[in-house]
């Protein structure tokens, strides 16, 4: 097939979703970064859908949609204001989830010659997207406090001193990072912004989990940004419902215009109108407080189970929010371990999928506490711990 050079290059990468394991029936899903079933507001969304159609009839089902396409932008702007992040309607673009937002940004910024910096490890779908546009990805390590901005500075200094090109942008998940659950402290956030200013690059801030804090909320990079260097990507998938596919980008009016040029009419007028109706008729602050409490209890349940059952070769990071616990299993290949785990009835994601070099993730795995019940978390962790103990004996 005579594809363009751009597409031919992209098709040489692993297929999208290759990381998603095929799960046996009744398998405990510690692999799934989904909202908890009980916390998805099904009844409220059902009421919102009925109310929308009763009031507007066929209007939300047409190409042009409904006035709620403007309303949802204002609702998102108001939501962001509560987090000290200010934008007007010309500085916000609603997208079909965060992945479309990331893809649109990649489309206008990246080409075969462009350098982009990512965290190591990072969100696997972002890696998939970036690799569709360029192979020039540079990985900067993450520790228990998120992106190592000191290592980033060393890299930038080296590139500049050698007269080499600098990155177009740095992609980061500074708050409750996927997969590590780590959070970048305020000092590192300010350091990253200072580096962006000094070396003249943008920052793509992915804030899918930022509202799901358990103790205190840190300011977004975008709210600290004084030079319009941050492109902020948000999502309602983790706090309302992923199937409605509501994400958004906050950036300068110039960038939003460029992004809209390529987005064209790839909207979802019906689901955006449903979400707008839901937001208008339900107290979001109360909903978020319920989510934070429930996910903190699940996090505590998983950490307690890990402490009780895992052998000494296993270490983990305790997240202060979000969905995930990042686990290191010394001496054991977690990709090879997966099939045995599935056979015993528990699923996780091997660390290899979160690294540009899969071998760097050989001894890591990601556990999700968001989707499974607390009983399933306890059972799943014990099943996994028993398997690791057996493998440890053979080391």
pLDDT in tens, the chain (395 residues): 666 666 666 666 666 656 567 788 889 999 999 999 999 999 999 999 999 999 999 988 888 778 888 899 999 999 999 999 999 999 999 999 999 999 999 999 999 899 999 999 999 999 999 999 999 999 999 999 999 999 999 999 999 999 999 999 999 999 999 999 999 999 999 999 999 999 999 999 999 999 999 999 999 999 999 999 999 999 999 999 999 999 999 999 999 999 998 887 677 889 999 999 999 999 999 999 999 999 999 999 999 999 999 999 999 999 999 999 999 999 999 999 999 999 999 999 999 999 999 999 999 999 999 999 999 999 999 999 999 999 888 76
- Please choose, from the candidates 241, 182, 239, 204, the residue with its C-alpha nearest in 3D space to the C-alpha of residue 104: 204
Residue 230 DSSP SS3 = strand
Give 138-176 as a DSSP string.
EEEEEETTEE-HHHHHHHHHHHHHTTPPPPSEEEE--SS
Q: Are 237 and 98 in contact (CB under 8 A)?
A: yes
Which two three-digit tokens encode residue 91? 């500085």
Say how far apart CA 126 and CA 205 lie, in whole Å: 12
Q: Are 264 and 237 in contact (CB under 8 A)?
A: no
Say how far apart CA 346 and CA 363 lie, in whole Å: 18
Q: Set out the domains of the chain in order of their start, with CATH numbers.
A: 18-40+286-393 (3.90.1150.10), 42-280 (3.40.640.10)
The H-or-E segment that residue 326 falls in is strand 324-329
Q: Are 72 and 279 in contact (CB under 8 A)?
A: yes
Which two three-digit tokens encode residue 122? 């990072």
Helices (H), the chain: 5-10, 42-56, 68-81, 97-109, 124-131, 149-161, 186-199, 221-224, 253-263, 269-280, 284-309, 334-344, 374-393
Find the distance separating the first CA and the last CA of the chain, reported in whole Å: 48
């Amino acid at each position: 097939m005579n594809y363009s050079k751009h597409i031919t290059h992209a098709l040489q990468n692993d297929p999208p979703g290759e990381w998603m394991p095929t799960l046996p029936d009744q398998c405990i899903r510690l692999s799934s970064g989904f909202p908890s079933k009980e916390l998805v507001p099904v009844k409220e969304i059902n009421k919102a859908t009925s109310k929308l159609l009763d009031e507007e009839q066929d209007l939300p089902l047409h190409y042009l949609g409904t006035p709620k396409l403007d309303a949802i932008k204002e609702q998102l702007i108001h939501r962001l204001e509560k987090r000290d992040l200010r934008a007007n309607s010309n500085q916000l673009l609603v997208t079909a989830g965060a992945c479309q937002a990331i893809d649109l940004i990649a489309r206008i910024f990246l080409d075969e010659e462009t350098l982009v910096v990512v965290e190591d490890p990072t969100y696997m779908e972002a890696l998939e997207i970036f690799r569709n546009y360029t192979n020039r990805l540079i990985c900067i390590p993450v520790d228990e406090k998120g992106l190592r901005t000191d290592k980033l500075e060393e890299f930038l200094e080296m590139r500049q001193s050698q007269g080499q090109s600098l990155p177009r942008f740095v992609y980061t998940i500074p708050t409750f990072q996927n997969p590590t659950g780590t959070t970048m402290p305020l000092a590192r956030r300010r350091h990253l912004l200072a580096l962006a200013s000094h070396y003249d690059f943008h920052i793509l801030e992915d804030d899918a989990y930022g509202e799901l804090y358990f103790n205190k909320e840190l300011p977004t990079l975008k709210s600290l940004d004084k030079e319009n260097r941050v492109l902020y990507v948000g999502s309602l998938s983790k706090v309302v419902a992923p199937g409605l596919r509501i994400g958004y980008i906050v950036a300068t009016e110039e960038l939003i215009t460029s992004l809209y040029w390529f987005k064209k009419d790839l909207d979802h007028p019906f689901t955006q109108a449903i979400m707008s109706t839901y937001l208008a008729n339900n107290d979001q602050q109360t909903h978020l407080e319920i989510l934070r409490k429930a996910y903190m209890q699940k996090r505590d349940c998983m950490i307690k189970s890990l402490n009780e059952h895992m052998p000494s070769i296993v270490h983990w990071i305790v997240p202060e929010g979000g969905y995930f616990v990042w686990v290191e299993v010394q001496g054991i290949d977690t990709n090879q371990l997966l099939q045995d785990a599935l056979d015993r009835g528990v699923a996780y994601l091997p660390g290899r999928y979160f690294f540009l070099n899969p071998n760097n993730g050989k001894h890591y795995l990601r556990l999700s506490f968001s989707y499974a019940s607390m009983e399933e978390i306890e059972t799943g962790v014990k099943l996994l711990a028993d398997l690791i103990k057996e493998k440890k004996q053979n080391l």
